[in-house]
Amino acid sequence: MRTPIIAGNWKLFKKSSEAQDFVAELIPLVQKTTDVEIVIAPVFTVLSAVKRAIADCNIMLSAQDCFWEEEGAFTGEISPGMLVDAGCSHVIIGHSERRQYFGETDETVNRKIKAAITAGLTVLFCIGETLAEREADKTFEVLRTQIENGLAGLARGDLAKIVIAYEPVWAIGTGKTATDEQAQIAHAFIRKVVGELFTVQIAETIRILYGGSVKPENVRGLMNQPDIDGALVGGASLKADSFGAIVNYKA
């Protein structure tokens, strides 16, 4: 049985006071939810403050990125060990916005994943195709390449610390959402590739999240699909009521 994960990626939003107000609103909405893992990913500067705010509840803390070296002359970077020190249990790696705007490649994603696992973090490993790639019928080719390159060199045991997030780039922040069927087809393919690269048992246990304009109105249909194990939520994670409703999609 794969425990669902609902993760909120705040992107470049919420200073410290806003983040703490959000958490204070969210906790009463989700504190009785025991059958879903809840993760929030604030900006680096408020991680420690948010960690204190969620210290006694069922919400886990993620960062939005990390570097692949633990320390050194790398101005502006943050290492996985520093994220652990700030209270993180998770880190998002390979988000499409990192790939699009900041030169992230499959190689840097792979290096970051290895470093994060070494530090003990659970990785939310993002993959997904652009609109042009989908229209050229290259979705499966793109996903397979991203999975093969991103997980290259990992041992089977490392996969226990990997959660895959499928985010069709054409559905991020556009208001467009993959249909439940489109999402399920992609997720089933991702699970198949993981089985080919590692083992069928690992493929059956790895959790695969959907990310792409997830809202309270569409989360239940997505979560009813057999290979969708949760959601990586963007805009709808910025308001406590909408994120709480997504977390409590079973209610």
As annotated, the binding site for substrate includes: 9-11, 173, 213, 234-235
Binding site members: 9-11, 173, 213, 234-235
Q: What is the radius of gyration, based on Cα positions, of the chain?
A: 17
Q: Is 167 a catalytic residue?
A: yes
Q: Is 95 a catalytic residue?
A: yes
Which of 90, 95, 129, 187 is catalytic? The answer is 95
Which of 97, 104, 129, 167 is catalytic? The answer is 167
Interior/surface letters 149-164, b for 16+ CB within 10 angstroms, e for the rest: bbbeebeeebbebbbb
Catalytic residue numbers read 95, 167
